[in-house]
Chain A
Amino acid sequence: MTAGGTLPSCREVVDGLPEWSEGALGGGAREPYERHLEVCPPCGSLARTYQAVGALARAALDVEMPPRARERLRRALLRRVGGR
């Protein structure tokens, strides 16, 4: 996909994803960057899924400590406190 004129290239867009996804693209860089995302569907889709990966992993990898492990932790801490 050709982004055209003064817009950044696809490679520059991909390289700039960390800054863009953190809202850290400064100066006049943000507008041409986001214009590229609008006119280039592969980059637009790559950028949005890049941004979504962290939240998806946080939700999917969420775990709770098993009750027995909690109980063993509680006992280990009580032993330490009692041993002081």
Chain B
Amino acid sequence: MQVLSPGDAADDDLVALAAAGDGAAFGELVSRHQDRIYGLALRLLRDAAEAEEVVQETFLAALEKLASFRGDAAFTTWLHRVAANAALMRLRRRRRAPEVASDRPMEELLPRFDEQDHLVARGPSHDWSKRADEQLADREIRKAVERAVQNLPEDYRIVFLLRDVEGLSSEAMAELLGMSVAAVKSRLHRARLALRESLSRFLE
């Protein structure tokens, strides 16, 4: 019989071992997923201490649920949904406090059309898509991307982060946010359009 170290095992094997009480297996699962869960919480909450609390809540909850997971995808998907939900609940609690109205109106960042439905270019049609990777080496560009995402109105920022950065499905997001799938997709589309416009202005 071949004995694998926890580092070589697949997630679903580790989940089964952890459910049977193997602490090293659970430790390996935590090591594998902690950065992504922390990143998810930090990007949504923009507060390191709160993000850390969300990570702890998520893995403590996972510890309780270990026996019910079936397969690698189930565990990973569950972790992301629990963490997203915990972060969203914190954001909702914050909303009861007065908000700082610093969001640039979305309309200004969305495409405009003339009477014939032709796109009205806001400036030179600058295509930075092929240079995106090399530009990321530039610290200023990374900051610009962070700022552009942060400047999205919160409802749009949440949808963009959960779908395009964290990879949640539109259906999972609709359930988490209490919206229809169509509304999630529409909001995501506008968020992407606004973001690419903000970045185009910076990268021109």
Chain A residues close to B by CB (< 8 Å): 1-2, 9-14, 17-18, 40-46, 48-66, 69-70, 72-74, 76-77, 80-81
Cβ of B103 under 8 Å from chain A: no
Cβ of B42 under 8 Å from chain A: yes
A1-B114 Cα distance, complex, nearest whole Å: 10
Query: Are A61 and B125 in touch, CB under 8 angstroms?
Result: no
Query: Are A77 and B126 in touch, CB under 8 angstroms?
Result: no
Given A48-B129, A63-B39, A18 and B117 touching (CB < 8 A)?
no
> Which chain B residues (88-130) contact chain A, with CB distance < 8 Å?
111, 113, 116-119, 121, 125-130
Please report whether the interface of chain B is mostly helix, strand, loop or mixed according to DSSP: helix
CB distance from A22 to the nearest CB of B (A): 10
Query: Are A51 and B118 in touch, CB under 8 angstroms?
Result: no
Query: Are A54 and B35 in touch, CB under 8 angstroms?
Result: no
Given A46-B125, A57-B145, A74-B30, A18 and B185 touching (CB < 8 A)?
yes
Query: Are A57 and B160 in touch, CB under 8 angstroms?
Result: yes
> Which chain B residues (45-63) contact chain A, with CB distance < 8 Å?
48, 52, 55-56, 59-60, 63
For the complex of A and B, the 6 pairs showing the least CB-CB separation, nearest first, are A54-B164, A60-B145, A10-B119, A52-B129, A9-B117, A11-B117
- Which residue of the partner chain B has the closest CB to A40? B119
Q: Which of B7-15, B67-75, B77-85, B192-200 contacts A (4 or more CB under 8 A)?
A: B192-200
Given A44-B127, A45-B125, A61-B39, A70 and B34 touching (CB < 8 A)?
yes
Interface residues on B, range: 35 or more
Please report whether the interface of chain A is mostly helix, strand, loop or mixed according to DSSP: helix
Which A residues touch B160, using CB under 8 A? 57
Which B residues touch A18, using CB under 8 A? 185, 188-189
Query: Are A42 and B39 in touch, CB under 8 angstroms?
Result: no
Chain B residues close to A by CB (< 8 Å): 23, 26-27, 30, 34-35, 38-39, 42-43, 48, 52, 55-56, 59-60, 63, 111, 113, 116-119, 121, 125-130, 132-133, 136, 141-142, 145-146, 149, 160, 164-165, 185, 188-189, 192-193, 195-196, 199-200
Give which listed residue, B59, B125, B196, contacts A50 with CB less than 8 A. B196
Query: Are B132 and A56 in touch, CB under 8 angstroms?
Result: yes
Query: Are A52 and B136 in touch, CB under 8 angstroms?
Result: no
Which B residues touch A12, using CB under 8 A? 117
Query: Are B132 and A52 in touch, CB under 8 angstroms?
Result: yes
Give which listed residue, B39, B126, B192, contacts A62 with CB less than 8 A. B39
A77-B160 Cα distance, complex, nearest whole Å: 31
